[in-house]
A and B are shown apart, each in its own frame.
Chain A
Amino acid sequence: MRHWKKNIGVIIFLGALAFAQCCFAEQVVFIVNLSNKISSLTTKEIINIYTLRIKTWPSGILVEAVSLPVDNSVRMIFSKSVLCRDPATMEQFYLRKALTGKGQPPRTFKTTEDVKSFVARTKGAIGYILATEVDDSVKVVPVIREQ
């Protein structure tokens, strides 16, 4: 019995560790160029950027939003949790924007590494990657969730 109690503690610990790792691994963060002075963004601002409504930063620099392919799991998390639309629906949205002349869709990169690299060398760029992939070449912008 004591042996069982000892094991359940280990199981709970390992379970909690796995859960935390899973959550942390799936946390998507927004990154901007190191020169960007923005300190935080609201979800509304991010939605406005990725729906092509906001095209300049408060400093006047052009926003260069970048994204990942439709079938990318990170894009799926971003699209559903922030934009509240699946990537396929967003593609239709961008198609409509292009047809009406309201703007071209965000630049798409194959991997989060490419996104990070582009953001690191482009002044007005904003992208999203996994929290575990962040390094010193880019700046992470905290997101304030609005009700």
Chain B
Amino acid sequence: MTYAEQFFMKVSTSGIKKAASIMARFGFLACAASVFFIVPSANAVVLEAQDMKFGINGYLDMEYTYLGKMPMVMTDEMSQMQMIMTKNDESYFEQRHMNLIFGAEKDRFRAHVNLGTLHAFSTQSEGVRDFFSIHEAYGEYLVSDQLKVRAGQFLCPFGLLNEIRYITPLFEPVVLPSIYLPDSMYTGDPIINAEANLMVSGVLQGNNSDLFYAVHVGNGNREDDGAAQNKNKQIGGRLRLTLAESFNVGASILTVENDTSTADRKLTYGGDIDFSFFNDDLNLQAEYVKSDFKTRGDKMSYYVKLTYNVGNFSPFIVYDYFRDSGDILYESGAKRIGVGSGYKVSDNIVVKGEVHFHEYPNAAVSDEAKHPIMLKTSMIFFF
């Protein structure tokens, strides 16, 4: 091999690694910039025939996260003992969701498919973490406004946000309340991540109020390979009373047998209010959820969020509390105050930014991890 060949070989191998790293970090920014310049005026695709409607919508979001020194639970491999450690601070970009939503309506039938990625790309893990998957796919038959029957795989109505937990353009903060956290951002598991397979629902309309009801059943929790963990399945329901156009009160319940060997049922229940006033510019949302699980201990969480819409801005403040008696870190609870705002760049682009102040009163948490800060910014394109 000549000197020149050796030189180019050396350059190319180290160059590929560097280039890959640079592309991983800056490719994200390039994508983000292109969204601003290429697609600000896109519209949903709607196809209409004489008796059928077909629509394609979608959304794509990118996030930047800074996490201060957070407490975390580690399990010692030898003794299997759990201990609370402190995680170093970190920051990363993430292309979190990229979803296409297909909707079709013909007569009384309706179909809905949400196809997308979750954590498609992250500079935290240097690569692809998840592939396209079907988040929801269901068909619905409308008997009347008072009775609809839905079958398939879907996020069931529970609380204010379970049904829209993946659809980031629809809520103001980047980070969902602890009740709904879609992944184990804070080592504890989410309280609700409920999917159902069969549901009847409807709205009973009165003169001054409407009552929404839903009863659903599902396969309950599953193993990683998709096998059902339980034989008695999951059953749940929700009631929501709309007293005025902008005042809603709701209650939800969900029960699922998690372990056939102990026959222990997890019962999750909660209540919520959603109140808008001053011409819908000021919105107050509050939720309380408790999950009882005899063999593991209960989980409880609540939050109060106040949002004010002023021009293209939607500033908010949220107070969030989470406690998990079966987790050595969260048995003493964790508080979080979040402050931030969304900004509507155009009809199809929203930018969000927020800071969260945590408090971990657990005595085993080191001082440097007792009050960690989390910064989140996100840009979402949707059509």
Contacts and interface: CB of A to CB of B under 8 A. Distances in A.
Contact of B142 (A56, A99, A105): A56
Nearest to A64: B51
Contacts of B203: 53
Interface in A82-128: 88, 91-92, 95-96, 98-101, 103-105, 107
A101 B110 CA distance: 9
A95 B44 contact: yes
Contact of B110 (A53, A99, A103): A103
A54 B204 CA distance: 10
A9 interface: no
A106 B321 CA distance: 41
B108 interface: yes
A3 B338 CA distance: 75
A95 B170 CA distance: 10
B53 A107 contact: yes
Nearest to B150: A101
Contacts of B167: 99-100
Contact of A98 (B101, B142, B145, B154): B101
The B contact surface, by secondary structure, is strand
A98 B136 contact: no
B169 A99 contact: yes
Given A55-B142, A62-B108, A103-B110, A98 B103 contact: yes
A24 to B, nearest CB: 30
Interface string B282-320: 000000000000000000000000000000000000000
A92 B112 contact: no
Interface residues of A, number: 20
Nearest to B54: A104
B163 interface: yes
Contacts of B234: none
A117 to B, nearest CB: 12
A98 B110 contact: no
Given A92-B347, A107-B53, A101 B382 contact: no
A104 B53 contact: yes
A99 B58 CA distance: 7
B128 interface: no
B76 interface: no
A19 to B, nearest CB: 30
Interface string A54-83: 111000101000000000000000000000
Contacts of A55: 142, 145
B46 interface: yes
Given A95-B44, A95-B57, A96-B170, A101 B112 contact: yes
Contacts of B46: 104-105
Given A60-B144, A88-B347, A98 B164 contact: no
Contacts of A48: 205
Contacts of A107: 48, 53
23 contacts: A53-B145, A54-B145, A55-B142, A56-B144, A60-B144, A62-B107, A92-B347, A95-B44, A95-B57, A95-B382, A95-B383, A99-B59, A99-B164, A99-B167, A100-B164, A101-B101, A101-B136, A101-B154, A103-B103, A103-B105, A104-B54, A104-B103, A104-B105
Interface of B: 44, 46, 48, 53-55, 57, 59, 101, 103, 105, 107-108, 110, 112, 114, 136, 138, 142, 144-145, 154, 163-164, 167, 169-170, 203, 205, 210, 347, 382-383
